[in-house]
Amino acid sequence: MITALTLTDFRSYAAARLEPDRAITVLHGANGAGKTNVLEALSLFTPGRGLRGATAPEMGRREPGERSGRAWAVAAVLTVDGDEVRLGTGVQSAGGARRTVRIDGETAPPGRLLDWLRPVWATPEQDRLFSDARAERLKFFDRLVFAADPDHAAHVAAYEKALRERLRLLVDGAEGRAADPLWLDALESRLGQSGAAAALARAGARRDLQTAIDARGDRPFPQADLGLTGEAETMAAEGADAEAIAASIREGLSRSRARDAAAGRSLFGPHRSDLTALHREKNRPAAEGSSGEQKALVLNLVLAQLNRLTGSLLIPDAAKPRAGTPLLLLDEAPAHLDAARRAALFDEVEALGLQAFMTGTEPELFAPLRGRAGFIRVEGGALIPET
């Protein structure tokens, strides 16, 4: 588990240190005190922009009158089988746009963080996940895929890069500068390969998550029947191989060139896919549910993800690289949950046996965890342990 977390000029913290002594840590304090900033710091121990999706310059602390964020750092001590591993990330200059990663003092690629930790989070922004924008749902789902299959992030990044290049060529062509058809063919070939890999990973993750949801039962969070829209994902779910899916993507992109050029955006491809969910008990789309119902469905999905990760990633396999330990981050978890569901959530998190960090404005909301979790009051840029 993480035994020490140090923040330096990160968000609202000039300098702060947290030393968790329980598997579950509750951070409570007034709105704006900096509780979510701690979760964001923890979420940076994985590739990407963390739970807020912020850029590196946005994370640096600013004093009144400062035009750019300061250089900042987040460091953690992770205890693994009695040994200590030191993880760190941050930027080295004010307004720095690229964060670096260090493991035991040595610079490392961000992907190496996954050897040690795999953060999974739920935030208030996801309370209406199923009725919000499709792109945000797909991003959320891709993060779940990525936690178990690190290669998925590389496939999605390669796809998005090639998609931007293709659209630039098409738009230039629509403005009178002829697009090179051979270069378009090459880009669409790359899009087919990376798109097929992403679609296969998504279809496999949906299947595994559905199995985990079904195995959990309704206890007491509602179950969802998950679906994926998108031609490539449908083909993958039906057993098509990567070559067939890639060919379908290439052909579809080729057919849509004129339409995409006119629209100024790409209207076909796996980036247009979507995650759907049916509230099983009520037999209606999750998008029609209240914020409380959608939050409960998302929490069940997150718990299913953790069940999936602990069941597959933590089994030693000499043929595979080391798989990082899941880390649960729940921002404002008690909001919109009744007392029974709050207590059930706490019981399930404890039963998982993983390290978890939760936030909330009122410590009373976490009363069932007294004696079972460490409580930290967040106030004035300080993290104050409570006894």
pLDDT digits (tens, 9 = 90+) for 184-196: 999 999 999 999 9
Give me the pLDDT at residue 173, please: 75
Residues of the chain with pLDDT > 90, as a percent, come to: 70
Listed in sequence order, the residues at least 6 apart from 346 whose beta carbon sits closer than 8 Å to its beta carbon are 24, 366, 368, 369, 372
Q: Report the alpha-carbon angle 113-115-116, nearest 5.
A: 75
Of the candidates 283, 278, 309, the one whose C-alpha atom is nearest the C-alpha of residue 294 is 278
pLDDT level of residue 176 (50, 70, 90 thresholds):
low
Residue pLDDT, tens place only, 321-331? 456 789 999 99
Mean pLDDT of 239-260: 96
Give me the pLDDT at residue 319, please: 43
Give me the pLDDT at residue 313, please: 41
Residue 178 has pLDDT above 80, yes or no: no
Mean pLDDT of 246-266: 95
Give me the pLDDT at residue 318, please: 40
User: How far is 251 from 291, CA to CA, in rounded Å?
Assistant: 40
Residue pLDDT, tens place only, 52-76? 999 999 999 998 888 888 999 999 9
Percentages of the chain per state (helix, strand, coil), in multiples of 5: 45, 25, 30
- Omega of the bond prior to 109 within 30 degrees of 0, cis? no
Question: Which H/E stretch holds residue 87?
Answer: strand 83-91
Residue 290 has pLDDT above 60, yes or no: yes
Give me the pLDDT at residue 48, please: 87
Residue 362 has pLDDT above 80, yes or no: yes
Give me the pLDDT at residue 251, please: 97
pLDDT level of residue 174 (50, 70, 90 thresholds):
low
pLDDT level of residue 339 (50, 70, 90 thresholds):
confident
User: How far is 212 from 216, CA to CA, in rounded Å?
Assistant: 6
pTM of the entire predicted model: 0.88
Residue pLDDT, tens place only, 106-120? 999 998 998 899 999
Mean pLDDT of 216-224: 79
Residue 130 has pLDDT above 50, yes or no: yes
- Backbone Cα Rg of the chain: 22
Give me the pLDDT at residue 175, please: 61
Structure tokens at 17: 């240190």
Listed in sequence order, the residues at least 6 apart from 266 whose beta carbon sits closer than 8 Å to its beta carbon are 163, 166, 167, 253, 256, 260, 272
Write down how long the chain is: 387
Q: Is 97 left (phi over 0), alpha (psi -120 to 50) or beta?
A: alpha
pLDDT level of residue 237 (50, 70, 90 thresholds):
very high
Give me the pLDDT at residue 82, please: 87
Structure tokens at 194: 């990376």
Mean pLDDT of 246-272: 96
Give me the pLDDT at residue 311, please: 67
